[in-house]
Structure 1
Amino acid sequence: MKANLLMKNVDIARTDPKLCKKNTNRILFSIDMDDNQPHSSAPGYIQSKGPSSAHVQHATERFMTVNQGRLARVREGLQPKQQQCFDLLPLLFHINHESLPGYSSRDDVPFGISNYHPSDTVIRLAQSITRGQVGKRVSLTKPALSALYLMGSSGSIGQSTSSDLDIWVCYNSELNDRDIDRLQTKAEQISVWASGFNLEVHFFLMDAHRFSGGEQQSLTGENCGSTQHVLLLDEFYRTVQVLAGNIPAWWLVPTAFESEYRSALDTMAYDGYVNDANTTDFGPIATLPAGEFIGAGMWQIYKAIDSPYKSVLKLILLEIYAREYPAIESLAHQYKSDIYRMKLSLDDLDPYVMLYRRIESYLTERDEMERLALLRRCFYFKVGLNLSKPTRTYNWRRELMDYLLDSWGWTKSTIAHLDNFRAWTIEEVLSERRLLINELTHSYRFLTEFASEHHSTHVMSQRDLLILSRKLHAAFDRRPGKIDFIRIGLDVDLSHEKIRLYERESKQEPGVFLWAAYNRPLDADPSPSPLKYSKGLLETLLWSHLNGLISAHLHIPIYPMQQAITEFEIRMLLASMRQILPTPLPKIDSNSFYHPAILTKVVCFINVGRDPLHYLSARGLQKISARSNSLDFSALRENLVLSIDMVLVNTWGEVVVERFADQDAMTKALKSLINRVNKQTRSGLPIIETVCHNQTRPQAIAKRVKDLFEDALSALCSPMHPKNTRFVFNLSDNCILFQHINRVTNFQTLSDVTELEQHLGHEQAEYSPVVFDRVFQQDQPLMSQLYQTHSANTVNVAFELQTTQATLYLIDEQGSLMRFVQPLHNVATLLSPLLRFLKVTEHRQRSNTDVQLMPQRTIQCHQIVRQKNGLELKRIKLGGLVNKGRFISVQVNVDLSDQGGYDYHVVCNEKEFHSAVLGDNLYNAVASFVLGLRASGQKYPVYITDLALTESVTDSFEFGRDQTRHYVSLKLKLEKRINDAMKRL
């Protein structure tokens, strides 16, 4: 006999007498008691011992009765316009009408839902939108979709006006990738249309066949990816509501036969009770694999960053399942068993009520009352009803919550306190936050131990695991200097707090002073505990700002002990923070976690509480006016940066403060930043902001630091320059040189330009250009221009003529600099011997190297011409300079001696001279021989025309390779000794 299922309000005392009040759509049960299954722990087939048409009919009708009751509750929670949008969703997937949302001009766009027949009301509603005719019948050989399923909190006590709708769009397995892409586009268009009704709808395209086979999508903001499969199915089955199309096949298999799920369905199909055209099969939940618990736990902790109260509920459920493993009675099984037993109360079958009662029973049995108290707050905040505020409008959610709160023994003051969470004190917020984090930590440790105990590996993909780990790291990692955000999932307004900042000496480290934030005076009774403390004022102030503690205040009481901070400076610091780092910070796109964190913004707060005017006075320098525009600090060459608080903001939403103090603050801050940027895997430089509010030339100091940092990052972190680039700037009287060596960038302090010049002459492992900051370029234009004209695989020679001599500068192919002086007769005799030697040296180096590994080298020559308004490097055409003039051939072979020095073998016009034989008399012998070859006997300079290095000499160099500077340096050294000897003859 067909079951006659009705909505009625009787006989509820069997389950919950207090639930029977005025609501007539709250309780569902069958008046045909012959349909009831005996109250067993594992319900079987309805009215039969095996599959039958009666079982299929009764099971379907019972589930659909609950289904319609839940859908009615969904509609009840929507506004009238939202209800119309909700009612139209199935039709928009069922037909492809040019006037309806989601329309596609392509004829092959998938549409049509199996067994869906839109009502006249829905057709009229669609016609009111199109202002035309919408056909009720759709002629399709085979609909592309099997069903639309609504899942999650919709239709439950957890649904609020702001809740979104999660809908599974189940398509046929025959669709190809192109069809699926077009269906996805259609779903996105419908989702955008629904947002116009203030209805947030997320569509998830699902293939039941692939899902039952274990396939999952990648992790996104709303999709749990590979972190869980069976657990997701558990949630789906206990919350699913059929919007249109086929029923889930899972409804038809009794809980007692879940382990024989496939066999039971096959029997029903074989006997003709069901067919694939009327059901959608996502598979059974006969077992919950141990490997899913750790992945699902991490997913919930990931979700807890934004919704901790909801996640705590689900994490405790995971804990319950894990403790029952392997004999787990899932909530989905309990839900199906209750329906088979005719327990059709919508309140009792409410997914969140079932979840709460399961957890309440578990925690009560374990006597964990503090966790139970947190659980109840989590449940209350998830429901989101303000029950302390009276209302005359009936609401089933409110009535059910009233009953639950009464059973918990909550007082009116308790409820009012929770409803008034926006006015909570900072202590209450921090206390609640600690409880939530402790619970999340407990769950994570428990699930990790469970996985270890059962030797289970998580089933998450490596990509999903990486994304989860990154977001958890960004949210919960507490490394020094990182700003921790007070997040408890509630929109708490802390601007009413009166924050005070105190500087106090550390009790653990005498002589070290810390800054702490309090919301009460230190002399208050009882003595307050610090809300936040750090080594710098800026970090504590920034923490207060980003957490909304001082957003409504213009004056912040500051109590320093050592730092000379002024009220003006504090006000200006706050103004800068609010402008550069406004709250709330931008929401982080989930796609950002697909990549390592990248710095996007760097804000340098300079000289907070430290005025360089006092520093200058302490050094005995001239007294200056704080706001004087006449003092040129670059000319004074004083380092006016005494401290930098560097705020780093990255793509994961992390904010970190690094503090650098004293005279090397700027160089250390720059080093730290450069190394951070160079570790990033993607190109792109962060935005640099600088803030300075002390009384001595703040704008000039801020601009100098900003310019320097931008120049340094461009030189040392940009793909435009080689990794081995050197960067130079002035700091006081010193020159600072930065260079990347052994996978880290470090700096050296050089006393003056002369020492810098010597240092730039050092050999290099690879081509190393030199970039100077803009201030150094103004102070030392020659050196800057010399390197600007230089490039890889080039040897640059520049010369400046004086009366009887010339100063020459040589930058070799590796970027090493040499400066030397040569006697001047004319330009030809000055350049020809050197250029000829450079050519010979290049040929020698190429002969010792694979030609393909040594590109063709270029030699450039410039004359330095000084003018009134600066200097110019005038390019000299080499022309015949290389071969101009005739010189006596002087070849030198250099080897290592047994004592570690050099042995020289000189060949002059086929005459050989050995230093091993002649010792220091070598130079006299060569000079005398050369003079003998000259008919005039004049003592003009001797030039070495060729020089060779043995392999042992090359190996002795720092990087085990020769470069032009080695040859030229030895050439000049030997020429000087020979020419000096010639003068003495």
Structure 2
Amino acid sequence: MFKSKTKNKLTFSDVDAVRKRFITLNRQRLQRGEECMRSNQRDFLDFLPLLFHINHPSLPGYVSKLTPSGICDYTPTQRALDAAKKYIHRFDYRNRALPRYDILSMFLMGSSGTIAYSRKSDFDIWLCHQHDIPADRLAELQQKASLIEQWADEQGLEVHFFLMDAEDFRQGKIVDLSSESSGTAQYYLLLEEFYRTSLLLAGRFPVWWLVPVEEEENYAAYVDNLYQSRLVNESEVIDFGGIPTLPAEEFFGAAVWQLFKGIDSPHKSLLKLLLMEVYAAEYPQIDLLCLRFKKSIFDGENDLDKLDPYLMLYKKLEEYLLSRDEEDRLELVRRCFYFKVNQKLSRKDNVPYDWRRDLLRSMTNAWGWEDEYLAVMDRRQNWKIKQVLSERAVLVKELTYTYQFLSSFARQHAQLAAINQHDLNALGRKLYAAFERKTGKVEIVNRGISQDVFEPLLTLYQIRQRGREGGWALLSSGGDSDSRDPSSMVALKRSRHVIEALAWGYFNGLIKGSSVVKVIKHASDLETRQLEECVRSLEKALPASKILETDIEELGRAVKVLESVLVVNLGHDPMVELRRSGAHLASNRTDAFSYGGMYGSLIGSVDQIILTSWKEVITSHFEAAAGMLDCLSNYFRMMPPSKGAAPPTPTVLCYTQNHAITIRQRVERLFDDLVECFYGAREKQNNRFIFCVQRDYYVLYFEDDVMRYQRISDYGELLRYLSKGRQSFGQVTMDPNVISDKLLALVFKFNKPGMVQFFYKRESGGNAEVYVVDENGSLFCQKHEAADEACLLGHYSRFFDTVLQRQLFQIIGQGEEGKEAIEVEYYSVGRDRQGQYQVSRRAPHDSGKRGYTSIQVIASREDASGSAFTIYCDEKEFSSLEYGSNLFTEIAVNILAKRKSRRTYPVYITDIDLTPDMFADYPAGHVPVVEFLNYKKNIEAKLNQALEQVKQIRPLRPQ
């Protein structure tokens, strides 16, 4: 049975009196709001209900005749009809009874009618509809609302509609009401703000108005009693539900979002953010503002100032901070409130009457604000950097304190962690990106504080400490920069490298393309012209506004590079040293990394600016040409191949005289080549990239998701490096400028996983060079003297057939069914008429019919000192157990005895079988071909050396 906590039973007159108080307050607040609005804003609000009351082809937003329409208890006023004719001159309204009213109510949310309203404020409209509208018709209503939003935008108005179903809302089924949602459900908090700030434009009023505060916990039963006792007609009201209390997870989620927004717009969000702190401090007995508001009206309060939602908010915050004796925080709240109201009280001449100014003046007088202080506050949009830095320090302290307070609150209420962990993580990342200090990071100090900190005259001063360079200082020049000692001036920013100071000034709005930046240097090639060009390029490549457009979705993901700028040779001209050493002398070598006859580098320094998806700005400085390697490693570390997406190619800027375009294009191409080499297919993560810096080779590769590099001093060492066996396939990409002989790069272009490619190139004198790239991308090279093509192809073919077939049998023996033998492709290499290399496919010759000696090597690891061999020459066995150190000599004697001529042409091994313990790093049956080839080359060298020795000691006698 319903039991009311109200002492006396309510009568119809009691309920009607409360309703009239709310209706009167609603009307007065609308009138107050209209007094502050522009004429087109007033006309729009008058016209708005009519747009949704009917469907008329001549009206904005028309979709179809079947679009849900009709507002309960609404009849257009003459003002509405007059406003309609201002927009649609021939519009003629005919009052007709509608069979159904699909729109229950229209509410205006936010600051309208309050002290915080501004002519720049937008209109947020709750469009409350019937519960039973079909989905397709509801979609039409949403389309109509969107079309009216677009039309309003054309009229210079910002309007947002939110379709609301009161029945769904009571059940907790709320949609994402804004693109600025924190992602955490905020049912009660949204309702709390709605009840104390909304203005009824048309339709039914909220039944919540009629429920006394003491009945809030008994809300549903109390409302049912109002209906049953016929004190209220259910068809006259709309019911969103009551607010008995505020669950902690709700205001915690809201605080997360307000803190998120507060980083970029601190003054705007700090009031709501502090309210969440107050609610958390009061939890679980929370004194909700909406209940204060309602109680005042029930008690007969009708003073609009005392019932102003934003004034009530300020009063609650003031009570809280005074009780804690936190005067500094209260002063910050007062500044935030003053900026929110946006009435410049220092302006006194020709200012029209505005009730908000009078009210705010009485408040600032009570705060003890003098006219001089008001003038400073009113100049906030033009505060210069020193004032901004001072205010930022206070704001950062407040935001950090609030974050710590909320984090502590979350730990006290463990059940909140699971609900809001994603939001808390995103917030932590935003705080980290905004406030965490680290090497090279550009602190963005002007977030939502001033609109103009631009300094037309600045000085970059190179600091000297104890006779050596100690970094750079950015100074405000003012009007007497020529007469003042820069070392005595207070620096706005000190940095180790000039790029950090320049980026700090640019991204914080001090420096623009029109700035004049004077350079005072001691040991640098930096010039004002370079700085001016650099800033203008930054304005195109990295607009400063981008850093304030944080996407909360991105904060839920791993950080990545959004944009990057690479500045080459800023304040460092390597041509000075090259001219001094003669390395600039004429040559056909034009590669910026290895230029001229002395293989000099045109890269003297590299400065990098990176904008991340978390909206951090990171600068890095690298010295000399080899510094480019560290730059590459640093850059690709942020988005390694395993993550899928490649980082964008940087915008490259260069200020070297005569060679800027060459350098820029070369560096851009290098980045593009690296992306092509390492990104895309998963297998590319094992690839290697080889290029030259000056006279050195460098191999770039990824290890544990980090790009690393290895220096190789000469071409011979490079070949030895490439000949090492690998456990899995990886493509080798040769930079076009690596070597003058392009054959090596050509060979690797043919490389494919699971395939062996054999290349041979005939030279003068009948000699040949052989290149083999194995199934995992390792290289084998060997020169053969007096090589017959048929013999060369034949013995390699026979060798590959026997070794690869045995490998296949071993793999199958391990249970890997369905495997096929690795294929071998054969190519000859020649030159075309232009002298360029060309390759031709060849079929191997059948060496089995040529009568060559068959030599098979079987080796096993004997001990730490070496290997044990058994070698078969045409089935005759020679063992190291029998012949020891004379093994190769005995085999040489045997081979020479078989030859009819006295020629000592080379011996070729046709088969090698190595025991698994000799290659323990590889799985059984998966030893790469290059290991067998290297072993083959080694044994052949010993055999051929023995042949020469035997020939000299024992002249050949034909058998």
Using the size of structure 1 for normalisation, the TM-score is 0.87
1:372 matches 2:330: yes
Query: Residue in 2 aligned with 1:792?
Result: 753
* Per-residue deviation, 1:432: 1.0
* Per-residue deviation, 1:435: 1.1
**Preserved contact between residue 754 and residue 822 of structure 2 (Cα < 8 Å):** yes
**Preserved contact between residue 639 and residue 731 of structure 1 (Cα < 8 Å):** yes
Trace 1:233-632 onto structure 2 (pairs within 5 A): 233-274=191-232, 277-389=235-347, 390-458=349-417, 460-461=419-420, 463-496=422-455, 498-504=457-463, 513-519=470-476, 528-551=489-512, 554-585=515-546, 588=549, 590=551, 592-593=554-555, 595-616=557-578, 620-621=581-582
Query: Residue in 2 aligned with 1:774?
Result: 736
Query: Residue in 1 aligned with 2:695?
Result: 733
- Please give the alpha-carbon distance, in whole angstroms, between the structure 1 residues aligned to 2:335 and 2:509: 24
* Per-residue deviation, 1:325: 2.0
1:805 matches 2:767: yes
* Per-residue deviation, 1:670: 1.4
- Please give the alpha-carbon distance, in whole angstroms, between the structure 1 residues aligned to 2:239 and 2:425: 32
**Preserved contact between residue 123 and residue 136 of structure 1 (Cα < 8 Å):** no
Query: Residue in 2 aligned with 1:863?
Result: 828
- Please give the alpha-carbon distance, in whole angstroms, between the structure 2 residues aligned to 1:244 and 1:856: 81
Which ranges in structure 1 are unaligned for 5 or more consecutive residues? 1-42
* Per-residue deviation, 1:265: 1.8
- Please give the alpha-carbon distance, in whole angstroms, between the structure 2 residues aligned to 1:717 and 1:294: 42
Determine helix, strand or coil for the equivalent of 1:849: helix
Query: Residue in 1 aligned with 2:726?
Result: 764
- Please give the alpha-carbon distance, in whole angstroms, between the structure 2 residues aligned to 1:607 and 1:392: 55
CA 1:659–1:214: 2 relative to 1, 3 Å? farther
**Preserved contact between residue 293 and residue 451 of structure 1 (Cα < 8 Å):** no
CA 1:106–1:759: 2 relative to 1, 3 Å? farther
The alignment covers a number of residue pairs equal to 933
Match of 2:866 among 887, 894, 901: 901
Q: Which amino acid in 2 is paired with 1:788?
A: K
- Please give the alpha-carbon distance, in whole angstroms, between the structure 2 residues aligned to 1:338 and 1:776: 83
Query: Residue in 1 aligned with 2:98?
Result: 139
Q: Which amino acid in 1 is paired with 2:36?
A: G
**Preserved contact between residue 92 and residue 100 of structure 1 (Cα < 8 Å):** yes
* Per-residue deviation, 1:494: 1.8
* Per-residue deviation, 1:820: 0.2
* Per-residue deviation, 1:839: 2.9
Give the structure, 1 or 2, with the largest relative contact order (CA under 8 Å, sep 6 or more).
Answer: 1
Query: Residue in 2 aligned with 1:27?
Result: none
1:647 matches 2:612: no
Query: Residue in 2 aligned with 1:976?
Result: 941
* Per-residue deviation, 1:963: 0.7
Query: Residue in 1 aligned with 2:706?
Result: 744
- Please give the alpha-carbon distance, in whole angstroms, between the structure 2 residues aligned to 1:526 and 1:49: 80
CA 1:125–1:882: 2 relative to 1, 3 Å? farther
Match of 2:189 among 231, 250, 254: 231
Q: Which amino acid in 2 is paired with 1:818?
A: F
- Map Cα deviations across residues 53-80 of structure 1 (whole Å, 9 max, x no partner): 3343222222122112222233333322
**Preserved contact between residue 146 and residue 172 of structure 1 (Cα < 8 Å):** yes
**Preserved contact between residue 159 and residue 383 of structure 1 (Cα < 8 Å):** yes
- Please give the alpha-carbon distance, in whole angstroms, between the structure 2 residues aligned to 1:586 and 1:842: 58
Query: Residue in 2 aligned with 1:967?
Result: 932
- Please give the alpha-carbon distance, in whole angstroms, between the structure 2 residues aligned to 1:958 and 1:661: 44
CA 1:819–1:85: 2 relative to 1, 3 Å? same
Which ranges in structure 2 are unaligned for 5 or more consecutive residues? 951-959
* Per-residue deviation, 1:805: 1.9
CA 1:800–1:309: 2 relative to 1, 3 Å? same
Determine helix, strand or coil for the equivalent of 1:795: strand
Cα RMSD over matched residues? 3.4
* Per-residue deviation, 1:553: 5.1
Determine helix, strand or coil for the equivalent of 1:876: strand
- Please give the alpha-carbon distance, in whole angstroms, between the structure 1 residues aligned to 2:559 and 2:257: 20
* Per-residue deviation, 1:266: 2.5
Q: Which amino acid in 2 is paired with 1:787?
A: F
**Preserved contact between residue 588 and residue 651 of structure 1 (Cα < 8 Å):** no
Determine helix, strand or coil for the equivalent of 2:842: coil
- Please give the alpha-carbon distance, in whole angstroms, between the structure 1 residues aligned to 2:191 and 2:16: 24
Determine helix, strand or coil for the equivalent of 2:920: helix
- Please give the alpha-carbon distance, in whole angstroms, between the structure 1 residues aligned to 2:886 and 2:528: 77
**Preserved contact between residue 907 and residue 940 of structure 2 (Cα < 8 Å):** yes
Trace 1:845-924 onto structure 2 (pairs within 5 A): 845-849=807-811, 857-866=822-831, 869-878=834-843, 885-899=850-864, 901-924=866-889
Determine helix, strand or coil for the equivalent of 1:154: coil
Query: Residue in 2 aligned with 1:103?
Result: 62
* Per-residue deviation, 1:176: 5.9
* Per-residue deviation, 1:787: 1.3
* Per-residue deviation, 1:543: 1.2
- Please give the alpha-carbon distance, in whole angstroms, between the structure 1 residues aligned to 2:96 and 2:518: 74
Trace 1:21-32 onto structure 2 (pairs within 5 A): none
* Per-residue deviation, 1:309: 1.1
* Per-residue deviation, 1:547: 1.9
- Please give the alpha-carbon distance, in whole angstroms, between the structure 1 residues aligned to 2:23 and 2:237: 13
* Per-residue deviation, 1:815: 0.9
Q: Which amino acid in 1 is paired with 2:56?
A: H
CA 1:592–1:956: 2 relative to 1, 3 Å? closer
Match of 1:168 among 102, 126, 129: 126
Query: Residue in 1 aligned with 2:954?
Result: none
CA 1:106–1:136: 2 relative to 1, 3 Å? closer
CA 1:49–1:755: 2 relative to 1, 3 Å? same
CA 1:860–1:359: 2 relative to 1, 3 Å? same
- Please give the alpha-carbon distance, in whole angstroms, between the structure 1 residues aligned to 2:782 and 2:14: 103
- Please give the alpha-carbon distance, in whole angstroms, between the structure 1 residues aligned to 2:150 and 2:95: 25
Higher mean C-alpha deviation, range 857-866 or range 335-344: 857-866
* Per-residue deviation, 1:221: 4.1
* Per-residue deviation, 1:796: 1.3
Query: Residue in 2 aligned with 1:5?
Result: none
Query: Residue in 2 aligned with 1:38?
Result: none
- Please give the alpha-carbon distance, in whole angstroms, between the structure 2 residues aligned to 1:130 and 1:910: 110
Determine helix, strand or coil for the equivalent of 1:235: helix
Using the size of structure 2 for normalisation, the TM-score is 0.89
Identity of aligned residues (%): 33
- Please give the alpha-carbon distance, in whole angstroms, between the structure 1 residues aligned to 2:817 and 2:346: 83
- Map Cα deviations across residues 461-517 of structure 1 (whole Å, 9 max, x no partner): 55544544444443333332222223242443222464322233579xx96722222
Query: Residue in 2 aligned with 1:61?
Result: 20
- Please give the alpha-carbon distance, in whole angstroms, between the structure 2 residues aligned to 1:335 and 1:705: 65
- Map Cα deviations across residues 517-574 of structure 1 (whole Å, 9 max, x no partner): 2326796899654322221011101211222213375432333343342344334334
